[in-house]
């Protein structure tokens, strides 16, 4: 149910998908996202530059939607804040170039 390539069909699958990506709309997003990056590097799945990582996350958050009304209510506001923070970081990284 948590595969990003499959669209959840049942209510249970939708709930599980929303729970799996709840961190996108939580205050702890930045810390959890840093741990995810380290996991990907350790697994040799991806070793992005700071800019690549920020752009990848912006693209993912912009394309992501929660499936249940509960998740939308609980996580959408903070997800927007997290996305805004990523855009700010992108601008800061651009200014350093």
CA torsion 84→7→20→28, rounded to 10°?
A: 0
Write down the H helix ranges in the chain: 11-20, 29-42, 50-63, 69-96
Per-residue pLDDT tens over the stretch 78-89: 999 999 999 999
Residue 63 pLDDT: 95
Q: Phi and psi (nearest 5°) for 34?
A: -65, -40
C-alpha count within 13 angstroms, C-beta hemisphere, residue 29: 23
Q: Phi and psi (nearest 5°) for 3?
A: -65, 130
Kindly report the pTM of this predicted structure: 0.89
Distance CA 3, CA 33 (A): 18
List the domain boundaries for the chain: 11-96
Residue ranges, the chain, pLDDT below 50: none
Structure tokens at 14: 């939708």
Residue 1 pLDDT: 58
Residue 56 pLDDT: 97
């Amino acid at each position: 149910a948590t595969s990003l390539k499959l669209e959840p069909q049942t209510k249970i699958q939708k709930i599980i998908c929303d729970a799996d990506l709840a961190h996108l709309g939580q205050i702890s997003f930045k810390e959890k996202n840093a741990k995810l990056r380290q996991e990907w590097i350790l697994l040799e799945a991806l070793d992005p530059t700071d800019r690549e990582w920020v752009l990848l996350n912006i693209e993912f958050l912009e394309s992501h939607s929660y499936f249940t009304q509960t998740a939308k209510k609980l996580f959408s506001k903070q997800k927007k804040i997290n996305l805004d923070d990523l855009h700010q970081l992108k601008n800061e990284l651009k200014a350093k170039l």
